[in-house]
Chain A
Amino acid sequence: MSEQYLLNDAEVARFLVTGYHLVEPELPVGLNENIADQLDALATNPGDAITEAVPELCQVLEHPAVTGALSSLLGPDYEVQPHRHWHCKQPDSPHMNWHQDGLNNRDILLNRFLGLYYPTDVTPNMGPTIIVPGTQFRNAPTDRMATYTNIRGQVPLTVKAGTVAFTHYDLWHGTAANRSVHKRHMIKFLFRRTRENTAPTWNHEPEATNKPNDWNKKAQAEDANNILNFTNPIGVSQSDHYKERAIRRQNWDFLMGKQA
């Protein structure tokens, strides 16, 4: 693994805090267009067999910017799970409410997450995925989210063609309506840790990690310690923020390979 593509301490800390990280790999010229054209022409959804239907998708997973981020967050022995799915948001389709995937049996440690690949540019009117940074540690039944609509700090994934958005499995997400004439494609992949870390698997610099708390910069902090301590993506209450900080620290120590 080339160190060039591994994340740094601040990027790992921000992923733990916000629950997402965007990668824009320099894919071969024409690859995104080729994949988008094949998806446009698909008559049925092949489910897990989407990579057999569109084998060029594997080139995205193999790009060093993608494998570098995955190795940084899940260790070099990460597993690409067999479940994957083509999400095609059709023109004139409505928004999708906030939800967490699966049952309410959340794992607060970083053992799995999603990779969302977008083969075309996604504009605000194309029904982008929308996420709520920092909600990945909440155990919230989707039914309880039915009275939420817009949330301060929500982030629409209006991205460039070829972007891979890594999102924590439990991050609150939904979509806007697609009011364009274009299909909005997204391929969802699922990745899993196979082995616990015994040491950091990213570009770790101990001296950059142990900076003291900076009460003046707070949310503008650029180093791991202050990012973990002060960032509050949607401005939750002090009580919730303290709980979030405790979970972030637990995760950071887990990734550093420290024994509990």
Chain B
Amino acid sequence: MDTRHQRLLYLQARTPSPLSGIIGLTFIEPIKGYKPEIVATDPDWPYETVHDALVDGWQIVQFPHLQAPFDDRELDVVGYEFILQKMEVVADE
């Protein structure tokens, strides 16, 4: 029987705006044993912005946290992280 499973997409964007360009991208697929992988060849970049992913049917389930104290000198992680989901049918094995 086919059932709907949650696909996840982590996007690290340049700014907190959904229209912002993407610096990092990770798919988490609801497939047993699935592992995303850093690659030494040109990675596949299906989206240029967070908005591109929305157009493709992804939904934002978590916006970047902006409540942390602002520091105008220190640098920490790269980009602002959006977490998105798409519920799709995944064939049972």
Contact = CB atoms under 8 A, between A and B. Distances in A.
B40 A149 contact: no
Nearest to B75: A138
A24 B24 CA distance: 31
A139 B72 CA distance: 14
B37 interface: yes
Given A98-B38, A130-B38, A175-B38, A145 B77 contact: yes
B78 A135 contact: yes
A71 B12 CA distance: 37
Interface in A136-155: 137-140, 144-145, 147-152, 154
A97 B21 CA distance: 23
A148 B11 CA distance: 8
A129 to B, nearest CB: 9
Interface in A97-155: 97-98, 124-125, 127-128, 130, 132, 135, 137-140, 144-145, 147-152, 154
Contacts of A208: none
Contacts of A244: 75
Interface in A231-253: 234-237, 240, 243-244, 246-247
Given A149-B36, A149-B38, A176-B40, A138 B26 contact: no
Contacts of B39: 95, 124, 150, 176
B76 A138 contact: yes
Contacts of A240: 75
B3 interface: no
A148 B80 CA distance: 11
Contacts of B37: 94-95, 149, 176-177
30 contacts: A94-B35, A95-B38, A124-B40, A124-B41, A130-B38, A132-B78, A135-B78, A138-B75, A138-B78, A140-B76, A144-B76, A144-B77, A147-B10, A147-B81, A148-B12, A148-B24, A149-B24, A149-B37, A150-B38, A150-B43, A176-B37, A176-B38, A235-B23, A237-B14, A243-B72, A243-B73, A243-B74, A243-B75, A244-B75, A247-B75
Interface of A: 94-98, 124-125, 127-128, 130, 132, 135, 137-140, 144-145, 147-152, 154, 156, 158, 172, 174-177, 234-237, 240, 243-244, 246-247
